[in-house]
Structure formats: structure tokens, C-alpha cells
């Protein structure tokens, strides 16, 4: 093959006596660097200078063996010898430098996922002695951290708190050891979030840090005082915010409630991992508890970095075009609570109103989704779109939805721990004659066309549309897999059992439709208490329930004929209209 340059360079690796075939050992054969053999003078030169090298074992240790071939019509032997001597001198200087105290360090070429300056790297290495890698943020990671920054000390919806109920006598030292091993296993759990000199946010992977850990014993208190003390602890713990620049943005607390019952409280910022990751974290923690922190009992971990590498290889221009096409013609946001967007008051907490769906209603929804050939997620989104359209007087609405963001192209993506989810706009439009079934089918087709573009950032979408926001309501459908057999086996291996979990999570949007399909469909409306009151949300829950009921009863009904008001509400409106007519 023709050479692509004037110098050809081959490094053949390291060879030792162990590389000798077993049947030839002890017969007097010695290592011979075959590239040292003299070449035929008439052989065509592949390049002006050909350098072949390998490391071979000698009596004094490993040695770099180099053979240089050159075209005598172009180069003199003395010039080649001088070049090789200068190269060896440079290699020797590098080796001596590497042996010096404090030598080494990373350069931008060691961090291919980010574009940072050498000065940034050196500054971070001073501030974070355990720095091992630098990654970009996913779009949602950036958004969540931005929202937390805006809270300014108020209730942070993105500071997650999970209280695991543990049955069995827990050894605090073993659980602490397991928590430390968990932190060391998953690099993305020990990241610090900082800005480089150009103002771009990156996450620094820091090795050698201790897991924040504490333990307390409430078992000596009477039961009513014990529960009150635990609630007070949860409130105080949630109020303690994290500093993004200090890794890790998580902590664990073991609370002993009785000799054979404890609560293990994991508090973490949502930027570290999503709900899908939680069963993996639970299983890993239990198995590490059972092994006293020995990670060899677990399979090799697939790191979050694999996902970031995948993201870096996507065609972002094509994705931007897909979203521009999807949102073409959207010139204003769909706001159900227009005053809330400009409210300066910080969050005071999250409220919940559950939709009154009985067993028969849930079966009906599942059956109707199957008959129409749509997912239950599409059915829930379609029902919310119809209600949103009625409440805002529009036939073209946009709301947010959370997608899993786990592309099948990434090996073992289902078992990874990290922040994969993304929040994206869902646009639903219909004509007066379209039926509920038409709306659902059209919605599912539009969403399917965007599956390969779920990694796009909401900020970029806002910028492309020229709007600061597109929606103020969100639909979250939690449908991640839970390997119950694995959790049962992990419980057995640990000798203790996680019997329940009490999560405290939320979003910053005024209203979120939360759907949970495990073990059956459950719906509730999650709302910001400083924006909405419970009676208002209860009315919305009743209206959404009525839309769902009509969808089950007859999906051929035109959207314009869908009834969202209670009979009493409709009668009151008609009475007021007639009184003013």
C-alpha cells in the first residue's frame, strides 16, 4: 500500500520469554528481534524512513529495541543515526520526568468528550486531587442544576430523598462499607459540577472520596415520639442542600427504629441518577452489604460514560431539524397557569391528588389502549392533551413529557446507573371532526418519529422556537423495569430485606401528571403548593378522570364533544350564561 507520509512507524509491543512457545523452551532458543534482520537493498521503500520498535526482555530488564530502514538515495546514514539518537534522548528525558515527584497529569487529549483548556485541567487537578475524568453534562442534568440554583434556599424539587425500610438487624459498619463500595463502583455518583474558563459546565469524576454517612438510633423513644422524630429528621435532611462543586452530591443515613427495623435514607440530587437507576442501586447496595464491600460479587459495571460517548456521536444537526419540523408553527406557549411562570416566590413543597381510578377503570383503560393499538402512555398523554385544549380553548397544545432516554444501541443500557431521562415537548393538534381515537393514533405516530431524537436539549428547542418556554405542565409515565427476582436474591444474600421505599421527588412545573404502571396504572396530580391549592387540583383530577372515562366508553366521540365539566358545573355555567343573556 502507498505510504501516507515520509516516515513509517511500527510499535510491535512487548515480548518476553513467556511468549516463547512451550515446546521450544529450554532448547537454546533466544529472543531475536526479527525486524533487526537486514532488508534486501532492492526492496521498494514504503517510506523515506521506516522505524520498527518493540520492547524485549533482557538480563537487565525491559529494553526498547529499534530498527530503522531508510532510502539511501534520499537520506544519509549519519542523519538517520542522529535522528534516532535525538529520539532516544527525548524518550530518556520523558522517562526521568515521569519518575520525578509530582510528575504527570492530564492534557486536553486525555479528555475527548469535552473541549477544555490546559489551564482548566491544572486548576481542577489542584482543587480535586482525585480527578480521574471530565465529562459533559446531559441536557437535563444542566437543566436540573439550573433549577436548583434558582431555588435560593427554598424547597428543592430535584433533591431526591428515598427512605428504604429495612427489616432485619442491620450492622451499621457493614452498611457503611457497602455504601462506600457503591460510590466507588459507579463513577457518575462521585462527580462535581463546575464551569471551565469559557463558562461551560462540566462534571468532574473524582476518585478517592468518602461517602457522606451518618447513623442515629431512635429505638429508645416511644413509638409516637419515634415516628415524629423520624419525620423531623426527614424534613431537616431534605432542607440541607448540596453544593454542586463538592462531590458527591449524595449522602446516606441509617436510622435505627427498632432492634430488627431500620430506615436507610438516601438523599441525592436528581442530576446524578434517574428513577430507572434506583432498583440497580438497591440491588448493588444489598449485595455489597452481603459481601462486606467486596465488589467482585457483582458483574462488571457498564459506566455512564458509555452513554455520554454515544451522545457525542449523534447527528445533532439532523436532530435539530427533526424538532424544528415537529414544532413548526408554534408561536406561543401552552400555559395553563400563565401567572405562575413569573412568580418570584420560592417553592414551599409538593402536593399530591390521586385520581380515583378503581380496578375496573384501570382494566378498561388497558383494554382500550390494546384495542386501539396504542400504549397506555399515549392514552394518558392524549387524555391530558384533550383536557388541556378544553381548558385553554386551543386545538393545538404543547406540554412536557419525560422520556427514558436509554438508547438500545448502548450495550447494557438497561442496567446502568445515571441520569438518562430527558424532558421534551409533546405537541398534539386536532381538527373539530377528529375523534379521540384519531388523536391517539396521530400522537403515537408523531412520537414514534422522534424516538431517535430524544437526546435533544429543551434549552436548544426553546432557542430554536424563539420562545422562553413552551409549556407549564408535564406528564411523567414511570414504567421502568424492576427485576424482582434479582432484588429477592440480593435480599437473601444480604441477610436483611428492603421491604418498602418512601420516595420524595418532584418537578419545578406547577402541575405534573404522574403515572405509575407498577403493578397497575395509578395516576396522581403533583402540584407546587405555592402556585396551586388542593381544591383547584382536585377539580382538575376530576376532569381528567372524566376524559379518561369517555375515552374508555367510546373513543369514536369527536374531541369537541368530550365533556370535562361535572353536571353541577355545567348547570351553573348555563345558569350564569342565561342570567346575563
Report pLDDT digits (tens) over 63-111: 888 888 888 888 899 999 999 999 999 999 988 888 888 777 889 999 9
Per-residue pLDDT, 556:
94
363 and 467 in a single domain? The answer is: yes
Mean pLDDT of 327-333: 95
Last residue of a domain, one of 51, 66, 99: 99
Strand partners, 161: 267, 504
Q: How many domains does the chain have?
A: 3
Instruction: Assign 32 a pLDDT band (cuts: 50, 70, 90).
Output: low
Read off the pLDDT of residues 148-194 as tens digits, 9 standing for 90 and up: 888 766 678 899 999 999 999 999 999 999 999 999 999 999 999 99
558 and 518 in a single domain? The answer is: yes
The verdict on residue 481 lying in a domain is: no
Q: What share of the chain is helix, strand, coil (3-state, %, to 5)?
A: 40, 20, 35
- CA nearest 390: which of 565, 566, 570? 565
364 and 459 in a single domain? The answer is: yes
Tell me the HSE value of 297 on the side-chain side, using a 13 A CA sphere: 19
Read off the pLDDT of residues 116-132 as tens digits, 9 standing for 90 and up: 999 999 999 999 999 99
Per-residue pLDDT, 28:
60
53 and 149 in a single domain? The answer is: no
The verdict on residue 574 lying in a domain is: yes
Distance CA 581, CA 578 (A): 5
Per-residue pLDDT, 478:
86
227 and 361 in a single domain? The answer is: no
Instruction: Assign 574 a pLDDT band (cuts: 50, 70, 90).
Output: low
Last residue of a domain, one of 99, 128, 162: 99
CA 206 centroid distance within chain:
18
Per-residue pLDDT, 343:
44
| Residue 154's CATH number | 3.30.559.10
| Residue 328's CATH number | 3.30.559.30
Q: The whole model's pTM is what?
A: 0.82
Instruction: Assign 8 a pLDDT band (cuts: 50, 70, 90).
Output: confident
79 and 121 in a single domain? The answer is: no
Res 345 pLDDT > 50: yes
Per DSSP, the three-state class of 445 is helix
Range of the domain at 227: 110-302
- CA nearest 507: which of 140, 250, 152? 140
Res 377 pLDDT > 50: yes
Number of H helices, E strands in the chain: 15, 17
Sheet of 201-206, strand order? 131-136, 201-206, 191-195
372 and 274 in a single domain? The answer is: no
Q: Can you spell out the DSSP letters for 85-113?
A: HHHHHHHHHHHHHHHSTT-----GGG-TT
The verdict on residue 310 lying in a domain is: no
Lowest pLDDT segment from 37-41, 283-287, 365-369: 37-41
The verdict on residue 211 lying in a domain is: yes
282 and 428 in a single domain? The answer is: no
Per-residue pLDDT, 502:
86
Read off the pLDDT of residues 201-217 as tens digits, 9 standing for 90 and up: 999 999 999 999 999 99
| 194 vs 27 pLDDT, higher one | 194
The verdict on residue 74 lying in a domain is: yes
Mean pLDDT of 517-530: 88
Per-residue pLDDT, 430:
95
373 and 228 in a single domain? The answer is: no
Last residue of a domain, one of 73, 99, 125: 99
Per-residue pLDDT, 155:
76
The verdict on residue 376 lying in a domain is: yes
**Is residue 417 within 8 Å of residue 511, measured between CB atoms?**
no
The verdict on residue 504 lying in a domain is: no
| 1 vs 242 pLDDT, higher one | 242
371 and 297 in a single domain? The answer is: no
Res 469 pLDDT > 70: yes
- CA nearest 69: which of 78, 80, 58? 80
226 and 162 in a single domain? The answer is: yes
Res 19 pLDDT > 90: no
276 and 390 in a single domain? The answer is: no
The verdict on residue 496 lying in a domain is: no
Lowest pLDDT segment from 16-20, 55-59, 64-68, 106-110: 16-20
Amino acid at each position: 500500500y502507498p505510504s501516507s507520509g515520509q516516515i513509517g512507524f511500527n510499535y510491535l509491543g512487548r515480548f518476553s520469554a513467556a511468549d516463547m512457545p512451550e515446546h521450544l523452551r529450554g532448547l537454546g532458543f533466544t529472543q531475536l528481534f526479527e525486524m533487526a534482520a537486514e532488508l534486501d537493498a532492492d526492496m521498494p521503500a514504503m517510506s523515506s524512513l521506516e522505524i520498527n520498535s518493540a520492547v524485549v526482555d533482557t538480563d537487565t530488564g525491559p529494553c526498547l529495541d529499534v530498527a530503522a530502514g531508510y532510502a539511501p538515495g534520499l537520506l544519509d546514514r549519519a542523519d538517520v543515526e542522529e535522528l534516532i539518537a535525538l529520539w532516544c534522548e527525548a524518550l530518556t528525558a520523558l522517562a526521568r520526568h515521569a519518575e520525578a515527584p509530582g510528575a504527570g497529569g492530564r492534557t486536553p487529549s486525555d479528555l475527548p468528550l469535552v473541549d477544555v483548556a490546559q489551564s482548566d485541567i491544572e486548576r481542577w487537578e489542584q482543587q480535586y486531587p482525585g480527578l480521574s475524568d471530565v465529562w459533559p453534562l446531559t441536557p437535563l442534568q444542566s437543566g436540573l442544576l439550573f433549577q436548583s440554583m434558582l431555588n435560593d434556599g427554598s424547597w428543592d424539587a430535584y433533591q431526591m430523598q428515598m427512605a428504604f425500610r429495612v427489616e432485619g438487624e442491620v450492622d451499621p459498619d457493614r452498611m457503611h462499607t457497602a455504601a462506600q463500595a457503591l460510590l466507588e463502583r459507579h463513577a457518575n455518583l462521585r462527580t462535581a459540577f463546575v464551569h471551565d474558563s469559557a463558562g461551560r459546565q462540566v462534571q468532574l469524576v473524582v476518585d478517592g472520596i468518602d461517602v457522606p454517612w451518618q447513623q442515629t438510633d431512635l429505638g429508645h423513644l416511644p413509638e409516637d415520639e419515634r415516628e415524629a422524630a423520624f419525620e423531623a429528621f426527614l424534613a431537616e435532611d431534605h432542607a440541607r442542600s448540596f453544593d454542586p462543586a463538592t462531590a458527591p452530591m449524595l449522602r446516606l443515613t441509617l436510622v435505627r427504629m427498632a432492634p430488627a427495623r431500620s430506615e436507610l435514607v438516601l438523599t441525592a440530587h436528581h442530576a446524578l441518577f434517574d428513577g430507572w437507576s434506583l432498583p440497580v442501586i438497591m440491588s448493588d447496595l444489598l449485595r455489597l452489604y452481603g459481601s462486606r464491600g467486596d465488589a467482585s460479587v457483582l458483574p462488571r459495571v457498564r459506566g455512564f460514560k458509555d452513554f455520554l460517548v454515544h451522545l457525542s456521536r449523534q447527528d445533532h444537526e439532523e436532530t435539530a431539524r427533526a424538532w424544528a419540523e415537529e414544532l413548526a408553527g408554534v408561536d406561543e406557549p401552552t400555559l395553563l397557569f400563565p401567572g405562575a411562570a413569573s412568580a418570584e416566590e420560592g417553592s414551599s413543597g409538593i402536593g399530591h391528588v390521586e385520581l380515583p381510578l378503581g380496578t375496573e377503570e384501570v382494566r378498561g383503560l388497558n383494554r382500550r389502549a390494546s384495542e386501539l393499538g396504542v400504549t397506555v402512555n399515549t392514552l394518558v398523554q392524549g387524555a391530558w392533551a384533550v383536557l388541556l385544549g378544553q381548558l385553554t380553548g386551543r386545538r393545538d397544545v404543547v406540554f412536557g413529557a419525560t422520556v427514558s432516554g436509554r438508547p438500545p444501541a448502548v450495550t447494557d443500557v438497561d442496567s446502568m446507573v445515571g441520569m438518562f431521562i430527558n424532558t421534551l415537548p409533546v405537541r398534539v393538534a386536532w381538527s373539530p371532526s377528529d375523534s379521540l381515537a384519531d388523536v391517539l393514533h396521530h400522537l403515537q405516530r408523531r412520537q414514534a418519529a422522534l424516538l431517535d431524537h430524544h437526546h435533544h436539549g429543551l434549552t436548544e428547542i426553546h432557542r430554536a422556537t424563539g420562545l422562553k418556554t413552551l409549556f407549564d405542565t408535564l406528564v411523567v409515565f414511570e414504567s421502568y423495569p424492576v427485576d424482582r427476582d434479582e432484588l429477592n436474591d440480593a435480599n437473601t444474600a444480604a441477610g436483611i430485606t428492603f421491604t418498602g421505599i418512601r420516595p420524595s421527588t418532584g418537578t419545578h412545573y406547577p402541575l405534573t401528571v404522574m403515572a405509575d404502571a407498577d403493578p397497575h396504572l395509578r395516576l396522581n396530580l403533583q402540584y407546587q403548593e405555592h402556585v396551586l391549592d388542593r381544591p383547584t387540583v382536585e377539580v382538575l383530577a376530576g376532569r381528567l378522570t372524566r376524559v379518561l372515562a369517555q375515552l374508555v366508553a367510546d373513543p369514536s366521540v369527536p374531541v369537541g364533544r368530550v365533556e370535562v365539566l361535572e353536571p353541577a358545573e355545567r348547570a351553573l355555567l348555563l345558569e350564569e350564561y342565561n342570567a346575563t343573556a
